[in-house]
Structure 1
Amino acid sequence: MVSDQQRGTATRRRGAALEDAILKAAAEELRTVGYTGMTMDRVAQRAATNKNAIYRRWPSRPALGIAAYRHLADAQLHIPDTGTLRGDALALLRAANTTWSSPQGAVLRDLLAAAADEPDLLTLLREQAGGSSTDAAWLTLLERAAARGEAASSAVHPRVASVPMMLLRGEYAVRGLPEVPDEVLTEIVEEILLPLVRGRAIKP
């Protein structure tokens, strides 16, 4: 039950503060009971607010689930800066690889499993596949490489930025393992990403 003190706190929260509290509560629900166990009632209770406040921002449980996962992922994302594109790309891939076998990765796997029986959730997952903070991180790596003279400005492209993570996800799907061998990550960077980036400088 929500205490009188919590109700008083909830009434004082507005805007971004309330939204952040709801997302944190939903992310904690995803970690503890999974997407199938997460309900608007449970999130409202954990966030010390009411369901109307949630529905005004996220019209459905799938929408809240995806938003909560992205909130969790964004909070833990770190953009490496090793001084080279190779070093940055390997560091970001290794971090993503570690995340897949972490509690955060377990949340994503849970969402993917639930999407098989919930079309709305599957649609949202597909829509969120692009434009994420991870995509932005890869674009940042390419922008830095271009600024250092390692890459042409034409290499700073969303399609180029999406390649490493698409290949990593493919490895998960094909191998069925919670973690991809480090030599495969190195191959993705050295045999695919770097030649692709260098090739963008070649004019037809």
Structure 2
Amino acid sequence: MQTRRRGAALEQAILDAAWAELVEVGYQEMTMAGVAERAGAAKSVLYRRWPDKFDLIRAVVEQRTPALGRLAPTGNLREDVLRVLDGVVARYRGLSVVTGVDPELSSRLRPELAQDAITQLGEALQVAGMDPAAISPRLLRLPITLVIDDLLHHIGEVDPQAITDEIFIPLAELAAAASPPKAP
């Protein structure tokens, strides 16, 4: 007789089952019913924790890929940007393992990753003495977009240093210099 799992043990069993289901049948064919059956749990248990399969997969991704983490800005803009971009590279490579070749799942998860990194870039600019409001949202997205593009299309050629030194910091400095000074 199997003992009834609860709490963390039940959640782990469901996440493991979701991972196995994702690997075996892919995101498109994956169902909450299939995950529940594999986990030996009722569908209602899954739906109480995750309203739909995307939310369940987001939990799997959070568990199985390296988190970007909160990086406290140091005031050294170059180093802070490189740390954020290195985190994006690690997280996206982990995300690629989870999403495989499923473009829908990848396209739904990518913006969440990018938003965390964009927020951290804005914080790094502020601590380095630049006004993040002087930097357009498009420019803040640019280094993350370039890193992801390199990961998708130029595997092995990801160069966060070049993106930081040759593109992002010079453009951020130009944008900050062009911005009218704040009133005292």
TM-score by length of 1: 0.63
Is the CA contact 1:35–1:114 (under 8 Å) kept in the aligned structure 2? yes
Shift of residue 105, structure 1, vs aligned partner: 3.0
**CA offsets per residue over residues 6-27 of structure 1, 9 Å max, x none?**
x2x33xx4xxx69954773356
1:64 aligned to 2:59?
no
Structure 2 counterpart of 1:114, from 91, 102, 108? 102
Q: What secondary structure sits across from 2:102 in the alignment?
A: helix
Contact between 1:138 and 1:161, CA under 8 Å: does it hold in 2? Answer: yes
Q: Which runs of 5+ in 1 are unaligned?
A: 116-121
Matches within 5 A, 1:34-49: 35=26, 39-41=31-33, 43-44=35-36, 49=41
- What's the counterpart of residue 145 of structure 1? 125
CA distance in 2, matches of 1:77, 1:167: 17
Residue 157 of structure 2: which of 156, 180, 202 is its match?
Answer: 180
Alpha-carbon offset, residue 188 of structure 1: 0.7
Q: Which amino acid aligns with 1:137?
A: A
| Residue in structure 1 matched with residue 83 of structure 2 by the alignment | 91
Q: Does the CA-based 8 Å contact 2:18-2:60 persist in structure 1?
A: yes
Amino acid at match of 2:132: S
Q: What's the CA shift for 1:56?
A: 4.6
SS of 1:200's equivalent in the other structure is helix
**1:73-99 per-position Cα deviation (integer Å, ceiling 9, x unaligned):** 4x6223444721211211222233344
RMSD between aligned residues: 3.7
How far does residue 57 in structure 1 lie from its aligned partner after superposition?
Answer: 4.9
Is there any run of 5+ residues in structure 2 with no aligned partner, and where? none
Give the secondary-structure state (helix, strand or coil) at the position aligned to 2:157: coil
Matched AA of 2:102: A
Is this contact kept in 2: 1:160–1:197, CA < 8 A?
yes
When residues 147 and 94 of structure 1 are mapped into structure 2, their CA distance, relative to the original with a 3 A threshold, is: closer
Q: Which of 42, 45, 51 is matched with 2:43 structurally?
A: 51
> Is residue 193 of structure 1 aligned with residue 173 of structure 2?
no
- Return the alpha-carbon distance in structure 2 between the equivalents of residues 46 and 128 of structure 1: 24
Q: Distance in 2 between matches of 1:200 and 1:38?
A: 46
Separation of aligned partners in 1, 2:128 and 2:175: 16
Aligned to 1:135: 115
Aligned length: 177
**Are 1:160 and 2:139 counterparts?**
yes
Report Cα offsets for 1:21-79 as digits up to 9, x if no partner.
47733564368647358553553356553212223554554553345324544x62234
Q: Percent identity?
A: 24
Distance 1:85 1:45 in 2: 49
